[in-house]
Amino acid sequence: MSEREHGVSATDGVTTARPGAGPPAAAGTTRDWSAETLRDALDRTSRWLLGYRERVGSLPVLPRTAPGEIRAALPARAPRDPEPFERVLEDFERLIVPGLTHWNHPGFLAYFASATRGPSVAAELMIAAVGVNAMLWRTSPAATELELVVVDWLREALGLPEGLRGVILDTASTSSFTALLAARERAGERVRETGLAGGPPLAVYVSDQAHSSLEKAAIAGGLGRAAVRRIPTDRGFRMDVDALARAIADDRSRGVRPALIGATAGTTSTASVDPVAPIARVAEDTGAWLHVDAAYAGSAALLPELRDRFEGWERADSIVVNPHKWLGTSLDCSVLFFRDPAPFREALALTPAYLASEDGEVVNLMDFGLPLGRRFRALKLWVLFRCVGVDGLAASLREDIELARRFANRIERHPRFRLLAPPSFSTVCFRAEPGAAPATDEVADALNRRVLERVNRRGRVFLSHTELDGRYVLRLSIGSVHTRPTHVEEALAELDAAVEAELGSPGGPGE
């Protein structure tokens, strides 16, 4: 049946009535908008987008809404009839935007940033326009081959060796989970076919500073939390390699097989870097899979002067780097590098008859991950590299690292704050001190909670917290493409005002 027989014009997409079909619906709403309607919506959206990016710095970073307030303002049921896009955009501005945490705000200094560069905004529109699914080579040859190219561009830019391959997934949690499945298959002997029950017990080793995603991966991968060994760290919050070796030896003596060691290059709390080279030796000696979580800090390997901090990661079986963190690519874009594709295929490849093809020697990216459907994420990296360039990306990273260094220097000389961990990359961990007299950790923890609450409630900047050695610690991380020195100065001023309100003023920050 033709489009026109369905009641849709093949030329303009405007709905027309068939004989006996009743009155026509509003133009362009039953199947799709007309070109004119879409043009108007895109024009309105682009004007809103540009205005938002110009004014986002004047908005409170955190929303001033109570739980349930936004939901209560929205209809309980979807509309039966179409509404004009103009009204939808108005409601978006009126109801939704005030309830957003603005990750593109220049004062967003809390978690690792996910601030979107302009080229990525344009790329997202291109991705939505073509709407391809990059699961098989056949379902979009350009999407598949572009992904292979841009992953290799990133590999080379990071100084990683030839021979590493990779795919683009959504987040580091998925990338690490995928690596665990490959490691499980290699260590567990045909887990894919027989499950875990008949094989040897397996263990996963991560530091006590590692991201929770690997523990979640162990849960989802059927190993359970009991299989995860949290290895202690040194005074710099880096994995203790001797403790790792002892834990593996103890497990092997009890018949437990080491499946995966998760090293971190840029931990979530302090951005510390595990000693990957010695950890790699342990992995090679014990046959364990080495996975390096470099989701945040891996981008810093773009800087030749920082490559030595990643020594040993080139020996890993898999590495994850998230361009949607420090490089300014929009969510979601996580690159999983791997040395050998076979364990991933063995763990996950499954082609039903309706997807079988005879395309010859091609790469089908769905074979390297759990999802069947795959977004055209490669286009975002391609546009990013083309419009910013490797040198431009590196320059931006250097600026962030320098801003963090200056902030750490000011904190170090401040009469009311002190550093709690060595500053690393663009992340600084610090703590307000109650006064000259020693105070219990409970008193200091309570003070820092109040200071953070005061700062974040003001809405000019947004900081986060973590826990180090059982103590509540404040945390500032610079990574937004919109953050400038004035915004870091504003964070210092807000911290000063908050601690003065709590303790009185002992003098300003050191210069």
Instruction: Provide the pLDDT for residue 506.
Output: 56
Instruction: Based on the fold, state whether residues 220 and 308 are members of the same structural domain.
Output: yes
pLDDT in tens, 129-147: 999 999 888 888 999 999 9
Residue 364 counted as domain residue? no
Last residue within a domain, chosen from 50, 66, 100: 100
**141 or 14: which leads in pLDDT:** 141
Residue 295 counted as domain residue? yes
pLDDT band, very low/low/confident/very high, at 117 (cuts 50, 70, 90): very high
State the SS3 of 295-318. CCHHHHHHCHHHHHHHCCHHHCCE
pLDDT band, very low/low/confident/very high, at 63 (cuts 50, 70, 90): very high
Alpha-carbon dihedral angle through residues 303, 304, 306, 307, given to the nearest 10 degrees: 120
Does residue 508 surpass a pLDDT of 80? no
pLDDT band, very low/low/confident/very high, at 19 (cuts 50, 70, 90): very low
Q: Give me the residues paired with residue 108 across strands.
A: 462
Please report, for residues 93, 397, 454, the alpha-carbon distance to residue 102 in angstroms, rounded to integers and kept in the order given. 13, 21, 18
Instruction: Provide the pLDDT for residue 509.
Output: 46
| CA 170 – CA 57 distance, rounded (Å) | 28
Instruction: Based on the fold, state whether residues 172 and 306 are members of the same structural domain.
Output: yes
pLDDT in tens, 237-277: 999 999 999 999 999 999 999 999 999 999 999 999 999 99
Q: Using alpha carbons, select from 189, 196, 246, 267 the residue that is nearest to residue 226.
A: 196
Instruction: Provide the pLDDT for residue 471.
Output: 93
Instruction: Based on the fold, state whether residues 187 and 266 are members of the same structural domain.
Output: yes
Q: Using alpha carbons, select from 165, 275, 212, 281 the residue that is nearest to residue 204.
A: 212
Instruction: Based on the fold, state whether residues 328 and 410 are members of the same structural domain.
Output: no
Lowest-pLDDT range of 2-11, 33-42, 228-237: 2-11
Does residue 8 surpass a pLDDT of 50? no
Instruction: Based on the fold, state whether residues 289 and 197 are members of the same structural domain.
Output: yes
pLDDT band, very low/low/confident/very high, at 438 (cuts 50, 70, 90): low
Last residue within a domain, chosen from 79, 100, 121: 100
Residues with catalytic function:
354
Residue 128 counted as domain residue? no
Does residue 28 surpass a pLDDT of 80? no
Pinpoint the alpha helices (H) of 92-162.
118-130, 141-157
- How many C-beta atoms lie closer than 10 Å to residue 372's C-beta? 12
Helix (H, G, I), strand (E, B) or coil at 473: strand
pLDDT in tens, 439-474: 788 899 999 999 999 999 999 999 999 999 999 999
- Sequence-separated (6 or more) residues with CB below 8 Å from residue 471: 420, 431, 441, 444, 445
Q: Give me the residues paired with residue 320 across strands.
A: 293, 336
Lowest-pLDDT range of 332-346, 353-367, 462-476: 353-367
Q: Give me the residues paired with residue 229 across strands.
A: 205
Instruction: Based on the fold, state whether residues 221 and 334 are members of the same structural domain.
Output: yes
What is the percentage of the chain residues whose pLDDT exceeds 90?
76
- Answer whether 347's CB lies under 8 Å from 370's CB: no
Residue 142 counted as domain residue? no
CA atoms in the 13 A half-sphere facing the CB of 71: 3
Instruction: Based on the fold, state whether residues 181 and 314 are members of the same structural domain.
Output: yes
pLDDT band, very low/low/confident/very high, at 361 (cuts 50, 70, 90): confident
Instruction: Provide the pLDDT for residue 380.
Output: 95
Instruction: Based on the fold, state whether residues 288 and 188 are members of the same structural domain.
Output: yes
Question: Whole-model pTM?
Answer: 0.89
pLDDT in tens, 147-160: 999 999 999 999 99
Instruction: Based on the fold, state whether residues 334 and 457 are members of the same structural domain.
Output: no
Instruction: Based on the fold, state whether residues 319 and 189 are members of the same structural domain.
Output: yes
Does residue 355 surpass a pLDDT of 90? no
pLDDT band, very low/low/confident/very high, at 510 (cuts 50, 70, 90): very low
H-helix or E-strand containing 428? Answer: strand 427-432
Residue 131 counted as domain residue? no
For residue 68, the domain's CATH number is: 1.20.1340.10
Instruction: Provide the pLDDT for residue 191.
Output: 80
DSSP code of residue 459? -
Residue 455 counted as domain residue? yes
Q: Give me the residues paired with residue 476 across strands.
A: 428
Instruction: Based on the fold, state whether residues 70 and 172 are members of the same structural domain.
Output: no
Strand-pair category, 334-338 with 427-432 = unpaired
Average pLDDT, the chain: 89
Total domains in the chain come to 3
H-helix or E-strand containing 281? Answer: helix 276-286
Residue 229 C-alpha from the chain's centroid: 24
Does residue 2 surpass a pLDDT of 60? no
Instruction: Provide the pLDDT for residue 440.
Output: 83
Residue 106 counted as domain residue? no
| CA 105 – CA 480 distance, rounded (Å) | 8
Instruction: Provide the pLDDT for residue 337.
Output: 98
For residue 459, the domain's CATH number is: 3.90.1150.10
Instruction: Provide the pLDDT for residue 505.
Output: 63
Give the E-state strand segments of 226-302 in sequence order.
Answer: 228-231, 257-264, 289-293
Instruction: Based on the fold, state whether residues 58 and 185 are members of the same structural domain.
Output: no
- Answer whether 498's CB lies under 8 Å from 454's CB: yes
For residues 232-258, b (16+ Cβ closer than 10 Å) or e, as one string? Answer: ebeeebbbbbebbbebbeebeeeebbb
Query: Across residues 320-324, what is the average pLDDT?
Result: 96
Residue range(s) defining the domain that contains residue 408: 386-503
CA-based diameter of the chain, in Å?
A: 88
Last residue within a domain, chosen from 278, 313, 344: 344
Instruction: Provide the pLDDT for residue 360.
Output: 72
Residue 368 counted as domain residue? no
